[in-house]
């Protein structure tokens, strides 16, 4: 269903709220997604005013290490690590400690904002969690900020990781509640939301976002972002689908992912959850190539050196991209 709010009404709301937070309704958010191309510079200006207000000129850089790869029992359609995927990827239970710790030292030595550690799978044994906690203790000795992308934890397991020093957990919503069953049937959206709330109760910072380009509607994107507004994650990563051969979404139609459409989603994320670190994650190098300056005027966080099973821009090129665009990369580690 299309929005009843006119573009003129939205323009007026936006111009009344430059540099201010405003609680957009679902209909207003849908109307933003429907704004015509000629409104993009203004939309970016309004989103950019909030970016400046809360994040200044800084861009945080995150490095991702895939600590456990493949063999996942879940059937997330976009994921190369799922049991349903035939993608040709490396599969291992634990990445070599040498690689994990050298990545961590790299984050430390280059003063990157955070080391993100991805683990495939949805359920872990207590022994696995104890092993991970030990690795976290080693890495925290370097003073790096750590985030684990990990499935559903029990409270006991989450506390073990908290005591080991883990700062933040990534658990994405990925899509809207009503579209989720098209993406995954081995767990529910509700389980994801509940897991996030449990982690918040235990005092974890939360990184939670989604993937755009999986066949969802604009309304689905709005609904996901409104749920993220409820959650108020410290970081909100938006991924733009990179269809991976061998996954059910390998032939997904990504023609909708024009730079302008992708930018609109990021602007809406900024308008709805303005104080969060809005991150342009997977797809940045594809969908925003040559448009980094505009991109960074709205988002304040990116990855360097690739994604779980997809390559990305290396660290020195990433830093150059940031400085060439007139931004400074944030130095967070000790």
**Footprint of ligand SF4 (CB under 6 A):** 72, 74, 76, 79, 81-82, 120-122, 151
User: Least Å distance between CB 151 and ligand SF4?
Assistant: 6
Helices H / strands E in the chain, number of each: 13, 10
Give the whole-angstrom CA distance, residue 304 versus residue 57. Answer: 18
Q: Which is nearer to ligand SF4, 43 or 183 (CB)?
A: 183
Q: Which is nearer to ligand SF4, 48 or 213 (CB)?
A: 213
Binding residues: 72, 76, 79, 116, 147, 207, 279
Q: Which is nearer to ligand SF4, 149 or 321 (CB)?
A: 149
CA distances from 225 to 258, 301, 317 (A): 19, 17, 30
Strand-pairing partners, residue 168, are 147, 205
Contact 262, 294 (CB under 8 A): no
User: Least Å distance between CB 308 and ligand SF4?
Assistant: 8
Question: Which residues touch 132 (CB under 8 Å, ≥6 apart)?
Answer: 67, 119, 124, 148, 161, 164
Burial class (CB in 10 A: 0-12, 13-18, 19+), 2: exposed
Q: Which is nearer to ligand SF4, 14 or 95 (CB)?
A: 95
CA 202 to chain centre: 21
Q: Which is nearer to ligand SF4, 180 or 288 (CB)?
A: 180
User: Least Å distance between CB 324 and ligand SF4?
Assistant: 33
Contact 252, 210 (CB under 8 A): no
Give the whole-angstrom CA distance, residue 72 versus residue 91. Answer: 10
User: Least Å distance between CB 274 and ligand SF4?
Assistant: 28
User: Least Å distance between CB 129 and ligand SF4?
Assistant: 16
Binding residues for [2Fe-2S] cluster: 116, 147, 207, 279
Identify the three-state secondary structure at position 252: coil
Give the whole-angstrom CA distance, residue 208 versus residue 235. Answer: 6
Binding residues for [4Fe-4S] cluster: 72, 76, 79
User: Least Å distance between CB 85 and ligand SF4?
Assistant: 8
The token pair that represents 214 in the structure block = 């999986």
Q: Which is nearer to ligand SF4, 150 or 298 (CB)?
A: 150
């Amino acid at each position: 269903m299309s929005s009843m709010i006119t573009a003129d009404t939205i323009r007026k709301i936006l111009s009344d709220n430059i540099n201010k937070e405003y609680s957009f309704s679902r209909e207003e958010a849908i109307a933003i997604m429907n704004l015509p191309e000629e409104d993009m510079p203004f939309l970016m200006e309004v989103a950019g005013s909030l970016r400046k207000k809360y994040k200044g000129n800084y861009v945080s850089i995150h490095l991702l290490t895939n600590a456990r790869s493949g063999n996942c029992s879940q059937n997330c359609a976009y994921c190369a690590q799922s049991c349903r995927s035939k993608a040709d990827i490396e599969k291992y239970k634990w990445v070599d400690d040498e690689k994990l710790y050298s990545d961590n030292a790299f984050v430390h030595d280059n003063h990157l904002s955070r080391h993100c550690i991805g683990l495939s799978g949805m359920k872990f044994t207590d022994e696995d969690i104890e092993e991970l906690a030990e690795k976290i203790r080693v890495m925290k000795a370097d003073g790096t900020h750590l985030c684990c992308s990990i499935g559903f934890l029990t409270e006991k397991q989450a506390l073990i990781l908290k005591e080991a020093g883990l700062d933040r957990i990534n658990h994405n919503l990925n899509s809207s509640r009503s579209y989720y069953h098209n993406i995954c049937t081995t767990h529910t959206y509700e389980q994801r939301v509940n897991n996030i709330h449990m982690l918040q109760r235990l005092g974890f910072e939360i990184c939670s976002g989604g993937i755009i380009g999986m066949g969802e509607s604009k309304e689905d994107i709005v609904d996901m972002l409104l749920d993220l507004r409820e959650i108020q994650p410290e970081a909100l990563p938006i991924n733009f689908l990179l269809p991976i051969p061998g996954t059910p979404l390998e032939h997904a139609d990504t023609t909708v992912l024009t730079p302008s459409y992708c930018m609109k989603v990021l602007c809406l994320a900024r308008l709805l959850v303005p104080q969060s670190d809005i991150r342009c994650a997977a797809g940045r190098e594809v969908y925003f190539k040559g448009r980094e300056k505009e991109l960074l005027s709205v988002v304040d966080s990116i990855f360097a050196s690739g994604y779980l099973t997809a390559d990305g821009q290396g660290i020195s090129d990433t830093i150059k991209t940031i400085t060439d665009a007139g931004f400074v990369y944030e130095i967070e580690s000790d």
